[in-house]
Amino acid sequence: MTEANQKPNPVLSITPSRSGIERRYGDFSSFPAALDYAAQGKSGFNIYSGRGTLLEVLPYSLLRQQAQATARRLLGLGLEPGDRVAIVAESDGDFARIFFGCQYASLVPAPLPLPVAFGGKEGYIDTLRGMITTADARAVVVPDVIGGWTSDIIAGFSLVFGGSPADLMSLEESNLPLPKIQEDGLSYLQFSSGSTRFPMGISVTQKAGMANAHAIARYGLQVYPSSDERDDRCVSWLPLYHDMGLVGFFLTPMTCQLSVDLLPTREFARRPHIWLELIARNKGTMSYSPSFGYELCARRGAREDIDLSSWRIAGIGGDMIRPHIIHNFAETFAKRGFDAKAFVASYGMAETTLAISFAPLNTGLRTDRVDLSIMEQKDYAQPAEKEGESTRDFVLCGACLSGHQIEVRNSAGSVLKEREIGTVHVRGPSLMAGYFNRPDETDQVLSPDGWLNTGDIGYMLDGQIVITGRAKDLIIINARNIWPQDLEWAAEHEVTSLRSRDVAVFSVDDRQGERVVALVQCRYTDEEPRVKLRDELVALFRRLHGIDVDVVLVPPRSLPQTSSGKLTRARAKTMYLNNEFA
């Protein structure tokens, strides 16, 4: 539905925060079973426009009816249990009806991204077609917002359905019985946010999905029980094609009978303040964002009539956490009732369904200041006595969720001691079944005894995991381990004209030899300030990190991002080598 066609119904009223039934924390055999229970209460999804207008109210009781009807339509197309259905995921009621329709029909939905963070129509459609190919989808649903691209998206595929949600809902319901849901059967495919034209789909079973939802609700977020006089309510703008949005603020709330207020992802960057206004209006208690979401809101400032005192869990995840951005947000909105102790750092990935650790609640952000020079040379997080040019603050992301395990290992596979830096491995009931139809790639990261090599680098401190970077991003120059995040953070922290995600750092080995390159988004058009910015950054990297960096200024909004808004260094490097910034 386009913005122009969105017509709010003045008689709509949101679903209540209190469901009216006994709280259960994801202790179900499947997501359909969880929805069957939630449908006995009054809570549900509330769909908003990017301007904060309530468009649709979808209690779980109504969603269950509509999802089962959608399941019969899907089965009537000739789809069979286990078949994949690709859904371009708009944050609306249609996505909910179709996703849960697939669940009831034992079909496997594969949420696909909207064109929020892609370089034009052609690049987006190529990415989408790669995902459809990987999923071997037999049906593809494209929302009206990009309906004009449907023919290009589905051309050449052998499908039983390719069209809009309205096209699907116009089909007659079959009288076929709904199949029995198997715990070990696939629930959905999740494409990681770093997926490119030939992505890998992460296979999540009903059992794994429910295990993660239970652990998140019961131990991570500690959702209030129904006997408590306080109620929890979720507010989210996060994309439903990304694990943090899909699992964290779509599936998990339903499994513990919480109401959710959903804003469209594609409009968040234009109106980030609507997110906070909705939290204040509906007394939201739980909401998450990557660091850049908090940065956008802080840049807008605090409106006088906003009250954020209800917000008890302000989660941070999805990317490396930048403490200065988080502290700035807390200072900006303290006068509007926001409590900095509400910040909750967490760690996870789609390969673990979503979460693997949560920082303790009601403590705020805890950081560890380390000496970068020692870290680069000895793979050890030596505490720095005071802030300096060669220090970095890392965020503690909490202890492992109940029933799961986390270890930091060296290259030989030995478990490291506290503050020793290595590769993070995790194990537990939430892990993926594997990469869909990619057994070789699965074997590379998932061991026979159930340990997942996350590819993340970090260390343990006081029983909590601290993430320092991705192994594939590591730059090794003159026997030093240099993290691109450190250089990016230094530039964005020290140069006032730069914002988060303005800098991408990587190494190249070409005719000029091995060197480090920093692509920097520059908003200046005159030559004098451009030269000044370049010289300032070259001097900064030399002074803080003792390294020469080729600084390349690129246009604003030209650095590539993943579907969840993360900077993608690999794509930026490819664009640089292809002279796409020339």
Q: How far apart are the first and last CA of the chain?
A: 38
Which residues touch 348 (CB under 8 Å, ≥6 apart)? 243, 317, 354, 355, 356, 357
What's the pLDDT at 492?
85
| Residue that is written with structure tokens 């122009």 in the block | 4
Asked if 362 and 347 touch (Cβ cutoff 8 Å), the reply is no
What's the pLDDT at 478?
62
Q: How far is CA 92 from CA 42, 52, 97, 263, 289, in A?
A: 19, 13, 9, 8, 19
Cα separation, 112 vs 375, whole angstroms: 39
Which residues touch 526 (CB under 8 Å, ≥6 apart)? none
Q: What is the largest CA-CA distance in the chain?
A: 72
What's the pLDDT at 484?
84
Tokens read off for 253: 């709330």
**Domain 3-9+18-271: what homologous superfamily?**
ANL, N-terminal domain (3.40.50.12780)
What's the pLDDT at 370?
94
Cα separation, 547 vs 30, whole angstroms: 53
Which residues is 262 bridged to in the sheet?
A: 47, 236
Which residues touch 19 (CB under 8 Å, ≥6 apart)? 38, 41, 42, 43, 226, 257, 258, 259
Going 280 to 286 to 287 to 290, the CA torsion angle's sign is positive
Of 532, 526, 483, nearest in space to 505 by CA: 483
Q: Which amino acid is at 2?
A: T
Tens-digit pLDDT profile for residues 326-366: 999 999 999 999 999 999 999 999 999 999 999 999 999 99
| Residue that is written with structure tokens 């060669």 in the block | 390
What's the pLDDT at 257?
98
Give the DSSP letter of residue 422. E
Q: How far is CA 194 from CA 114, 502, 513, 565, in A?
A: 14, 18, 28, 10
Residues in the chain, total: 582
Tens-digit pLDDT profile for residues 459-494: 999 999 999 988 777 777 766 677 788 888 888 888
Q: Are strands 343-348 and 313-316 parallel, antiparallel or unpaired?
A: parallel
Query: In angstroms, how far is CA 180 from the centroid of its own chain?
Result: 31
Question: The domain 474-577: what is its CATH number?
Answer: 3.30.300.30
Asked if 204 and 432 touch (Cβ cutoff 8 Å), the reply is yes
Can you tell me whether residue 48 is helix, strand or coil? strand
Tens-digit pLDDT profile for residues 438-450: 999 999 999 999 9
Asked if 39 and 63 touch (Cβ cutoff 8 Å), the reply is yes
Q: How far is CA 136 from CA 191, 241, 566, in A?
A: 13, 17, 27
Which residues touch 518 (CB under 8 Å, ≥6 apart)? 487, 488, 491, 503, 504, 505, 537, 541, 549, 550, 551, 552
Report the predicted TM-score, pTM, of the whole model to 2 decimal places: 0.86
Tokens read off for 404: 């799961």
What's the pLDDT at 451?
98
Domain ranges of the chain: 3-9+18-271, 365-427+441-472, 474-577
User: Which regions of the chain are under pLDDT 50?
Assistant: 1-5, 194-197
What's the pLDDT at 119?
55
The answer to whether domain 365-427+441-472 has CATH 1.10.3720.10 is no
Which residues touch 177 (CB under 8 Å, ≥6 apart)? none
What's the pLDDT at 4?
41
Can you tell me whether residue 374 is helix, strand or coil? helix
What's the pLDDT at 510?
66
DSSP H or E segment with residue 96: helix 93-104
What's the pLDDT at 3?
42
What's the pLDDT at 560?
85
CA atoms within 13 Å, Cβ hemisphere of 154: 23
Cα separation, 229 vs 218, whole angstroms: 17
Cα separation, 557 vs 117, whole angstroms: 10
Cα separation, 71 vs 58, whole angstroms: 17
